[in-house]
Structure 1
Amino acid sequence: MTKDVLLTISGLHYDEFSGREDDNEPIEVITPAAYYLKNNKHYIIYEEVVEGMPGSIKNKIRISGEDQLEILKSGLSGTHMVFEKDKIHMTPYETPYGELLLGIYTKDLKVEESDDRINIRINYELDINGDKVADSEIKMCVKAK
């Protein structure tokens, strides 16, 4: 895999509480990123611009084999989210508006690697400050430019 990659992230939250069909629309972002492999762990680094706010969010995705993925955010928002199948991880999530406590229960995590691509799918349950808010899915595709 090359250092310069294209990262596609699509996310979907199944909000069972709102009852509105349009709340379940997928969100997709395509952004350039940097990739490297160190100590058998994949790293993807990219920057996220937040509309209407000065500054950005720096993101680092760390993939440790097929059983753990971490997302580290710093800048306008900060957190260290850990996705590990059949485990719950609690983490503070700092936002410009205050701090939230996220609970992430990973139901399924799939990582598929080839020479020029990494495909990732994560199904998880998200709670905020102890209240379940959604069943969620993230799909990521990292491919050489």
Structure 2
Amino acid sequence: MENNVIISIQGRQSYEQAEEETIELVTEGCLQPDGAEGYTLSYQESELTGLEGTLTTFQIERDRVTLLRMGEVNSQMVFEEGRRHLSMYNTPYGALAVGISTKKMKAELDAAGGSIEIDYAIEIDHAVAGENLFRIQVRQKGLHIKQ
């Protein structure tokens, strides 16, 4: 996998009884066409995210985005606007059944890059555990990002 893009990720997490948390990460990754209308975006997690040794891959289709993590943490999360999906989240400490309810999703990618925005809620044992929003900007290496 050759790194051909710069990925800027901005994430916001809010949980009951806790202060909202915002993270920002800029890393190199790989963007490849996947089928007629889809793309695969992948990058290696770092010590900064707490997931060092994990490969994160987004499979982007027209109406669905699937987030796969493989390595120290193994998980699959499916995002489809207006739908709820159950996923397993495997950690070194055990597995959790997690519900993902996607409120809003927009993915606009082509071979030169683009953006993904997903607003979703996470449920653990059928109770909402948190609200998350992440925005990902993807651009070819050497190009400046448009705001």
TM-score, normalization by structure 1: 0.86
Deviates further, 54-63 or 116-125: 54-63
Residue 105 (structure 1) aligned with residue 105 (structure 2): no
Q: 1:82 maps to what in 2? A: 78
Deviant stretches of 4+, over 4 Å: none
Alpha-carbon displacement from aligned partner over 1:40-84 (angstroms, at most 9, x marks no partner): 211111111246x8960011111001x110111111011111000
Residue segments in structure 2 that go unaligned for 5+ positions in a row: 142-147
RMSD: 2.1
Residue 36 (structure 1) aligned with residue 32 (structure 2): yes
Question: What CA distance in whole angstroms lies between the structure 2 residues aligned with 1:55 and 1:5?
Answer: 20
Quickly say closer, same or farther: Cα 1:115–1:43, change in 2 above 3 A: closer
Q: 1:133 maps to what in 2? A: 129
State the 1:10 CA deviation: 1.2
Question: What CA distance in whole angstroms lies between the structure 2 residues aligned with 1:38 and 1:110?
Answer: 18
Amino acid at match of 2:4: D
Question: What CA distance in whole angstroms lies between the structure 2 residues aligned with 1:58 and 1:129?
Answer: 27
Quickly say closer, same or farther: Cα 1:9–1:54, change in 2 above 3 A: closer
TM-score, normalization by structure 2: 0.85
8 Å contact kept, 1:57–1:77? yes
* Correspondence list, 1:8-19, <5 A: 8-15=8-15, 17-18=16-17
Question: What CA distance in whole angstroms lies between the structure 2 residues aligned with 1:99 and 1:81?
Answer: 14
Residue 46 (structure 1) aligned with residue 24 (structure 2): no
**Secondary structure at the residue paired with 2:73?**
coil
Quickly say closer, same or farther: Cα 1:124–1:55, change in 2 above 3 A: closer
State the 1:101 CA deviation: 1.2
Question: What CA distance in whole angstroms lies between the structure 2 residues aligned with 1:84 and 1:96?
Answer: 28
Alpha-carbon displacement from aligned partner over 1:90-130 (angstroms, at most 9, x marks no partner): 00100111111111000000122466331111111111232
Question: What CA distance in whole angstroms lies between the structure 2 residues aligned with 1:36 and 1:99?
Answer: 30
Residue 72 (structure 1) aligned with residue 68 (structure 2): yes
Q: 2:144 maps to what in 1? A: none
Count of aligned residue pairs for this structure pair: 138
8 Å contact kept, 2:3–2:28? no
Quickly say closer, same or farther: Cα 1:128–1:43, change in 2 above 3 A: same
Q: 1:57 maps to what in 2? A: 54
State the 1:3 CA deviation: 6.2
Residue segments in structure 1 that go unaligned for 5+ positions in a row: none
Q: Percent identity?
A: 26
